[in-house]
Structure 1
Amino acid sequence: MSSLAVLIVLSAAVAHAAWNVLAHGVSRIGLPFLWWGAVVSTVLWAGVIPFTGGIGSGGPDGSGDLAGFLLGVGVSGVIHVGYMLVLQRGYATGRLSTVYTTARGTGPTISVVVAVLLLGERPSGIALIGVVAILAGVVAVGLADRGTPGGPDARMAGRRRRIDPGVLWGLLTGVAIATYTIWDAHAVRTWELSPVAFMVGCTLIEIPIYSIALRRRSRELAGVLRRHWPRLLAFGVLSPLSYILVLIAITMAPVALVAPMREISVVLVALFGVVVLREGRPGWRIAASLIVVVGVLLLAL
């Protein structure tokens, strides 16, 4: 895996951690925020398409495969809507670290298995050790949230005797992550699509889907824009940017390496929880984060 690909994936991880912190803060708003997020993302990034190769270089004349583009963004847009809905639901009912860690651990695990079994990718032995280290670190970060006395953990103790709802929503989010990761890798590579145009196409598809689901809450849109426009601008830049960088990376390196490596964002979210949210067991979290860093270094070899 080249140094440039590593840099791109790490940049994606920073952007991804940042927009998830933003999304967690407004998770109870739900659909109105997601609708505006799709609109802002589409508007901000549409102007970049002419400078990033149009829709791509595929097709018989090198001007882009329109049919492949429409199919690719159509399927991906639907998957991303499902991903956003379960993610927001998880953030509204569980804690940031639980949902995020579970989702980001489940997603790459499934992605690696599918990439190896169905896409024929064959990462090196050292890279696979790196994958295992990253996943172990992700699981360890998630375990740090369980059993901490006091604070939000105490009020959820009764529910933990069964199953933490944050874990369930995180697992569903992870399945969605794996699904769109594999599909999008296939679409971008097969039809040689531009990552920027692909991402804009996905967010454009999301708008009418959210509009249908939002029809009973449309009166809330003006208020959400007025109160949260700074968050919406940040979300509109960071959310597409994080995935555009991933799409670029998967044209340069195997999905089986890119998907786990982007989970360095788990470290950033864990540090945010320790420093800003004052979550418990800081030593455990830092140690688990170091395991993830070791895995990233192994992937880069």
Structure 2
Amino acid sequence: MQPGTVEIVLVAAVAHAIWNLASKYKRGDTLLFVWAYTGTSALLCVPLCVTPVITGQQVLDWPLALGAAVSAVLHIAYSLILQVGYDRAELGVVYPVARGTGPLLTMLFAVLLLGERLTALAMLGAFLIIAGILVVTGNPFRRARHHPLQGVLWGAATGATIAGYTLWDSYSLTSLHLAPVSYYTGTLLLQGVLLTPSALRRGHQIPSTIRTNATPILIVAVLSPLAYILVLSAMQVAPVALVAPLRESSIVIGSLLACMLFHEGHLARRIAGAAVVLIGIIAVGL
């Protein structure tokens, strides 16, 4: 992977970590919060789509509609499975398993289905990144108070949806030749449309939710599409089997920031995991 591409994904990882931290300050209804920042992101991205359409880089045709529609469905499936997993199992088990299996499955299917070929050093680097992520998040079984297997299954199901939308992103960009901004804007618009009926049923809470969460909504609305579009741009020139684990370095960045901002523990373990991830990133870059 070219160094410039590595830098693009790492910038995306930082943006992803920051907007995830901003979402921790969210208050009130989760669905309305997601609906609000998704709609705001879509409004911010729509003007950016005008240029690719005018210049002919992106045509408003059925491949764009298909790509965005499948992406929106996969993202909503990811959100629903993740939330159900959090309801039925422990977050401390579901989260690390999901973030570990997601890039691992993406790598596997990218090699088997998309025919990507990776050097031994790149493969080693990708596995080191995944291993470092698991070190940072900690042993999920140690924290599980009961039924850890259930959490593993829900985490694996979530990881499968992560792999699903990541592979579809790669296919949409490299095979359907969709422009990243147009593709992601279409995804956001469709997600917003699908979420709107549920949001309107909570209509009386909308003003207070927006008023209370104005700052985190704006931060997420700006940084979330920025992070995603940067990753999509990297997928146009680099194997998705390497982009997938590299983008997950956002977990390490977010975890270290959480230690400083929220005084979470296990700093030494998180630093050790971050060092392993850094070695993996260097190997991928080489």
Task: Give the C-alpha shift of residue 112 in structure 1.
Answer: 0.2
Within 5 Å, give how 1:82-161 maps onto structure 2.
Answer: 82-87=77-82, 100-143=95-138, 147=142, 160-161=145-146
CA distance in 2, matches of 1:176, 1:55: 34
Among 197, 222, 228, the alignment partner of 1:237 is 222
Contact 2:125 2:284 (C-alpha < 8 Å) held by counterparts: yes
CA distance in 2, matches of 1:224, 1:164: 36
Equivalence for 2:244: 259
Task: Give the C-alpha shift of residue 142 in structure 1.
Answer: 2.1
Letter in 1 for 2:41: S
Stretches of structure 2 that go unaligned for 5 or more consecutive residues are: none
Structure 1 range deviating more: 215-224 or 70-79:
215-224
Letter in 1 for 2:110: A
CA distance in 2, matches of 1:145, 1:75: 32
Could you state the TM-score of these two structures normalised by the residue count of structure 1?
Answer: 0.86
Task: Give the C-alpha shift of residue 230 in structure 1.
Answer: 1.1
Equivalence for 1:276: 261
RMSD over equivalenced CA pairs, Å = 2.6
Contact 2:27 2:209 (C-alpha < 8 Å) held by counterparts: no
Letter in 1 for 2:71: S
Contact 1:55 1:194 (C-alpha < 8 Å) held by counterparts: no
Contact 2:174 2:236 (C-alpha < 8 Å) held by counterparts: yes
Equivalence for 1:180: 165
Contact 1:144 1:284 (C-alpha < 8 Å) held by counterparts: no
Task: Give the C-alpha shift of residue 285 in structure 1.
Answer: 1.3
Structure 1 range deviating more: 167-176 or 69-78:
167-176
Structure 1 range deviating more: 230-239 or 83-92:
83-92
CA distance in 1, matches of 2:280, 2:20: 22
CA offsets, 1:101-131, max 9 Å, x none? 3332121011000000000001111000001
Equivalence for 2:13: 13
1:298 matches 2:283: yes
Stretches of structure 1 that go unaligned for 5 or more consecutive residues are: 148-156
How many residue pairs end up in the alignment? 286
CA distance in 2, matches of 1:93, 1:225: 29
Among 264, 271, 277, the alignment partner of 1:286 is 271
